[in-house]
Amino acid sequence: MKAQVLLPKVFNFPFTYNSKYKSKIGDLVEVPFGTKNEIGVIWKNKYTEPKDIKIKDIKRDTGYSINSKLIDFIEWFSSYNMVPIGLVLKMVIGGTDRFKINKDDLIKVKKTQIKEFKLNLEQTNALKFLGKIKNKFDVSVLQGTTGSGKTLVYFERIKEIIKKNNQALILLPEIFLTNDFKSRFEDFFGFEPAIWHSKITPKKKRIIWKGLMKNKIKILIGARSALLLPFKNLGIIIVDEEHDTSYKQDEGVIYNARDMAISRANFEKIPIHLVTSVPSIETYNNICKKKYRHFKIVKRFNNYPLPDTKIINLNINKMKDRFISKETIEIVKTYLQKGDQILFFINRRGFAPYLICKKCGYKECCPNCSLYLTFHKLINKVICHHCSFEKGVKTKCKIEGNCKFVMYGPGVEKIYEEAKEIFQNKKIGIFSSDYLKTKEKTKKFFKEINDNKIDILIGTQMISKGFNFPKLNCIVVIDADFSGRGYDLRATEKNIQLYHQLSGRAGRFSSGSLIVYQTLTPRDITLNELIKNNSEKLLKNELSIREKNKLPPFIRLVAIIISSKEPSLSLQGATEIKNKLINIKDVEVFGPVDSPLFKIKKNFRSRLLIRFSSRFLKQKEIIKVLNGLKISSKIKLTVDVDPVNFA
């Protein structure tokens, strides 16, 4: 008997093999492919059989199988995101090492002490609301002020699901969140969770993968890629911080994990809960259209109020060569005297984002990317935050000797230095990915914060996401800038979400907390509505601007990035592609234009933007045109469905 076998490689079709096994669709089998053996999946028998080719035999049946719902989802995922189906399968089954038979591949569930949690009235009502619709596909949004106890509500919801022998998937936008989240999970459930992200070892991946296939792992906490794992009996999906743009995978297989999670729930016929403090614009639009059910927890846990707000006009208050104003210093001192912790927030890594020689005007730029290099004092080097190129700062000047650099704009290291000078006997720590690279460092840092051994934190955007600091009662935003960078259509939306979440980090266990916005634009509309805690008004306004300008969620966008080592080739290739795409009915094709980030990793980039009605799915027609093109090997095409920016 013949069988079609899909392999986890860059193919859009399965291969034909002879089979002596009673295999069914979804079974994982080992087959010869080239000079190696590969693990593939018995696929739907709808492909044409090759002629005049010797058909090889399936070597063995692995004993593992994926269900038909997941097979349908893989096909849909491939079609929607315009990626080869074999690459999607690779995300599902991984490599051949997953199928090694190891005696030590046992799921060891470490038991912990359960703490007693009691829901308040709002949380109890939220739980009832989420549980109203059972055993079918349903999207519900759990919105709650930061610190309102949303996590506890969906933990209770998961408890209901796993009692029925079902599995639960909790998606988090960042792997950094998992450490803090893990301890809260253990306090509630009384066991250590299975955690999935790109940094875990192959052995751990193998154990978790097998545990999910056999329904031995009931709850999985994971980053984006966890969405494509082969659960045996998935009963619910939770997308925490659903608004977070980190859910967008922008390298390799490009997709939005939040949107794909909703689709997977649809294929699995199970409920999905989107959890947020301020919803994404797409989610807000679906709430307005009554497509998604919506419950809002208004009060914070134990009724602690949100912080008060203060705007400091830097045009009046800024000190010469300093980034922390005099007025801010006086405010911070009053909180430090009370034994409270302070956070200085600046969303820039390193010490200074620009270095310019005051003698010859030379700018430190990346040789591989069209970007300035950022100076990192920690290692005394300049680094590109796109390709990781780094070099020493000693540069020969065109005029005489070495360049004498002036550093423009502050990063976390600069604010750290300034804070050390102002608050001399206080313990100050930096909360940034450059400083918390290992598990041990992160653990130690969190312990110091919770033991009140750190008085002042200097943090980047990373700190706004889900962390819980009991003594943090004053936050200073060093530079509250709401302008965006021109190529990010979501700049306003992101600012609303970021600053709302940031304010929620303060005063979680006390009254009288404060968030200070230092800004050069004190009359900015977004800032002034934010301090009134009026995020819904801002989202409504943003939605009407999007509708007027024919932007998502009212239309669909597909970006095509054409890159090449030669700038003329990328533009030429983009022009040729556009000439073919304009023949597709009911689509508009814009460009080609140079990307705002024109050069990345030595490749010059041009962009096309395809726009069509949100009522249609034009991906099949677009990919048919792209597959029919004869493209030079010197050109690389990247397709981004539903782009989040135009960089």
Band the pLDDT of 215: cuts 50, 70, 90: very high
> Could you tell me if residue 394 is inside a domain?
no
Q: How far is CA 21 from CA 3, 28, 59, 363, in A?
A: 10, 12, 10, 66
pLDDT one-digit tens code per residue, 543-594: 999 999 999 999 999 999 999 999 889 999 999 999 999 999 999 999 999 9
Neighbouring-strand partners of residue 599: 604
Q: Domain with 521 in it: what CATH number? A: 3.40.50.300
Torsion sign (Cα): 157, 162, 167, 169: positive
Res 178 pLDDT > 60: no
Band the pLDDT of 45: cuts 50, 70, 90: confident
Q: Could you give the angle at which helices 535-548 and 491-503 cross, rounded to 10 degrees?
A: 170
pLDDT one-digit tens code per residue, 456-482: 999 887 776 656 677 889 999 998 876
Band the pLDDT of 180: cuts 50, 70, 90: low
Residues 6+ apart with CB under 8 A from 221: 170, 172, 178, 181, 182, 185, 193, 194, 195, 196
The answer on 566 and 539 residing in a single domain is no
Report d(CA 119, CA 96) in Å as an integer.
46
**Hunting for tokens 């920690």 — which residue is that?**
378
> Which of the pair, 215 or 410, is modelled with greater confidence?
215
**519 in Cβ contact with 346 (< 8 Å):** no
Nearest to 155 by CA among 193, 188, 200: 188
Instruction: Name the DSSP class of 423.
Output: S
pLDDT one-digit tens code per residue, 484-538: 555 677 888 888 888 887 877 776 667 788 999 999 888 888 888 887 777 888 8
Cis ω for the linkage preceding 553 (within 30 of 0) = yes
Report d(CA 231, CA 214) in Å as an integer.
8
The answer on 508 and 437 residing in a single domain is yes
CA triple 482-434-253, angle to 5 deg: 75
The answer on 311 and 453 residing in a single domain is yes
> Could you tell me if residue 150 is inside a domain?
yes
**390 in Cβ contact with 399 (< 8 Å):** no
> Could you tell me if residue 376 is inside a domain?
no
> Could you tell me if residue 107 is inside a domain?
no
Q: How far is CA 517 from CA 313, 461, 479, 481, in A?
A: 8, 15, 7, 9
Q: What's the domain range around 572?
A: 555-641
> Could you tell me if residue 260 is inside a domain?
yes
Q: Domain with 586 in it: what CATH number? A: 3.30.70.600
Report d(CA 295, CA 125) in Å as an integer.
9
Picking from 36, 67, 99, the residue at the C-terminal end of a domain is: 99
What pLDDT is attached to residue 284?
Answer: 97
The answer on 334 and 204 residing in a single domain is no
Look up residue 18 and give its two tokens: 């002879």
> Which of the pair, 285 or 183, is modelled with greater confidence?
285
Task: Compute the mean pLDDT over every residue in the chain, rounded to the nearest whole number.
Answer: 88
What pLDDT is attached to residue 97?
Answer: 77
Res 430 pLDDT > 80: yes
**Helices H, strands E: what count in the chain?**
17, 29
The answer on 283 and 416 residing in a single domain is no
What pLDDT is attached to residue 224?
Answer: 94
- Based on the number of CB atoms within 10 Å of its own CB, is 185 exposed (0-12), middle (13-18) or buried (19 or more)? buried
- Report the share of the chain in percent with pLDDT over 70: 94
HSE at residue 448, side-chain half, CA atoms within 13 A, is 16
The answer on 446 and 338 residing in a single domain is yes
The answer on 474 and 328 residing in a single domain is yes
Report d(CA 460, CA 164) in Å as an integer.
41
**217 in Cβ contact with 229 (< 8 Å):** no
Please count the structural domains in the chain. Answer: 4
Q: Could you give the angle at which helices 68-81 and 85-93 cross, rounded to 10 degrees?
A: 130
Picking from 271, 301, 331, the residue at the C-terminal end of a domain is: 301
pLDDT one-digit tens code per residue, 235-291: 999 999 999 989 999 888 999 999 999 999 999 999 999 999 999 999 999 999 999
Q: How far is CA 392 from CA 357, 376, 395, 599, in A?
A: 15, 10, 8, 22
Look up residue 608 and give its two tokens: 């096309």
Q: How far is CA 435 from CA 195, 416, 440, 507, 514, in A?
A: 23, 12, 11, 25, 27
What residue ranges in 117-191 does DSSP mark as E strands? 138-144, 167-171
> Could you tell me if residue 402 is inside a domain?
no
CA 98 to chain CA mean position, Å: 26
The answer on 508 and 424 residing in a single domain is yes
Residues 6+ apart with CB under 8 A from 539: 278, 279, 281, 284, 493, 496
> Could you tell me if residue 359 is inside a domain?
no
Report d(CA 85, CA 262) in Å as an integer.
19
Q: Domain with 83 in it: what CATH number? A: 3.40.1440.60
Report d(CA 378, CA 597) in Å as an integer.
27
25-29, 458-462, 469-473, 614-618: which is most confident: 25-29
**349 in Cβ contact with 434 (< 8 Å):** yes
CA 237 to chain CA mean position, Å: 16
The answer on 328 and 184 residing in a single domain is no
The answer on 342 and 287 residing in a single domain is no
The answer on 323 and 296 residing in a single domain is no
Torsion sign (Cα): 425, 429, 435, 437: positive
> Could you tell me if residue 536 is inside a domain?
yes
Nearest to 367 by CA among 348, 384, 350, 344: 384
The answer on 314 and 290 residing in a single domain is no
